[in-house]
DNA sequence: CCTACTATGTCCGTAACAACTATAGTTGTT
DNA sequence: AACAACTATAGTTGTTACGGACATAGTAGG
């Protein structure tokens, strides 16, 4: 085996929109469920809304397939809320995100070559 | 309403992988079901395989939502097969494909800005 | 006290999906 | 002509993903 984690990252592709957005949300920092929901709504300008059913269901599945892990670290107690549960990407989760982003990049490039999409110089 | 077709193209986003690949497959030319299946397998290098259940189910739904229409034109009789049913994008289908490709392009760009993905000069 | 917001979670119906099966025409081989 | 392999469309079935509704409870503000 080449790397370290469970299985082949590309075997999980393509990701569902919910899973992709959750991975993107946790790429920079740990977040709790409700925070993930807000970040996605904010980042997509409200175009993509994640319902609580999709959110917690997706998190459960992502934990089971080792994309996410629950974090023990708590932020500044003044900013904390003891109900919160914080999640972070596992190394495997990062590999899967990377693989999916590359797949999408390839897809967009292909569309540009076929002139289905305008290509900008420094995109 | 701004354009012409049924409703707002972006209301159907994000597309399922099956629907996106079918639209991409029909972007350049009309194809029949089996031909769509083969083109997708070829274009993705075998990474994405569309089973017949997904294919014909997706086509049915896409016809219902006016993304596709059945074509009356038949190719050279020598190359034809009377069982075939040919499909083409409707103007609305093309709008939806365009909207989805722009959404993905934005997503890839965002990932590059956040340095989750390497950005090439002329991508 | 009441309301709104934060926060996590379950339940349920619907839609999408992949694998499997059915059916039948076409092509190539012997 | 017989047969197998391939092309082609379509239905069936079981699983998963999803979103909305609901449940529960803590926190903040009027």
A62-118 pLDDT, tens digit per residue, is: 999 999 999 887 777 777 788 889 999 999 999 999 999 999 999 999 999 998 998
| CB-contacted nucleotides of strand C (7 Å) | 6-12, 15-22, 24-27
CA A75 to C1' C18 (Å) is 43
Contacts of B15 in chain A (CB under 8 A): none
What is the reported pLDDT for A2? 40
Q: What band does A119 get if pLDDT is binned at 50, 70 and 90?
A: confident
Of A28, A108, A122, the CB nearest to B105: A108
Strands A68-70 and B68-70: unpaired
User: Would you state the structure tokens that stand for residue A92, as one six-digit string?
Assistant: 């495997």
Rounded CA gap, B35 and A69, in Å?
A: 43
DSSP assignment of A48-85, as one string? S---HHHHHHHHHHHHHTTSEEE------TTT--TT--
What is the reported pLDDT for B3? 39
Q: Is A79 exposed, middle or buried (0-12, 13-18, 19+ CB in 10 A)?
A: exposed
What is the reported pLDDT for B121? 55
Rounded CA gap, B116 and B8, in Å?
A: 31
Quick check: bond before B46 cis, omega within 30?
Answer: no
What is the reported pLDDT for A121? 56
DSSP assignment of B30-56, as one string? -EEHHHHHHHHHHHTTTSS---HHHHH
Q: Which of residues 47-86 of B touch strand D (CB under 7 A)?
A: 52-53, 56-57, 59-60, 81, 83-85
Residue ranges in chain B modelled with pLDDT below 70: 1-6, 120-123
Domain ranges of chain B: 13-90
Instruction: Find which nucleotide's C1' atom is closest to B64's CA.
Output: C15
Contact assignment for B101 to A119 by CB distance below 8 Å: no
Instruction: Find which nucleotide's C1' atom is closest to B38's CA.
Output: D7
| pTM summary value | 0.89
CA B76 to C1' D4 (Å) is 28
Distant-in-sequence contacts of A40-49, Cβ < 8 A, 24+ apart: A43/B110, A47/B10, A47/B13, A47/B103, A48/A17, A48/A21, A48/B14
CATH topology of domain B13-90: Arc Repressor Mutant, subunit A (1.10.10)
What is the reported pLDDT for A78? 74
Are B58 and B41 in contact, with CB atoms under 8 Å apart? no
The owner of tokens 């090439």 is B120
Contacts of A110 in chain B (CB under 8 A): 43
If you average pLDDT over residues A1-29, what whole number do you get? 81
The owner of tokens 């984690």 is A5
Residue B33 CB in 7 A reach of strand D: yes
Q: A2 φ, ψ to 5°?
A: -80, -45
Q: Please name every residue paired with B89 in a beta bridge, in sequence order, or none if there are none.
A: B68
Rounded CA gap, B58 and B61, in Å?
A: 5
């Amino acid at each position: 085996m080449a790397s370290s984690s469970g299985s082949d990252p590309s075997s999980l592709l393509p990701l569902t929109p919910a899973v992709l957005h959750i991975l993107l949300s946790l790429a920079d920092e740990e977040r709790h469920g409700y925070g993930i929901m807000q970040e996605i709504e904010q980042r997509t300008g409200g175009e993509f809304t994640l319902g609580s059913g999709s959110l917690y269901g997706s998190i459960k599945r992502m934990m089971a397939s080792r994309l996410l892990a629950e974090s023990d670290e708590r932020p500044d107690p003044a900013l904390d809320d003891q109900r919160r549960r914080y999640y972070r990407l596992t190394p495997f989760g990062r590999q899967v995100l990377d693989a999916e982003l590359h797949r999408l990049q390839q897809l967009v490039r292909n569309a540009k070559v076929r002139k289905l999409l305008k290509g900008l110089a420094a995109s």
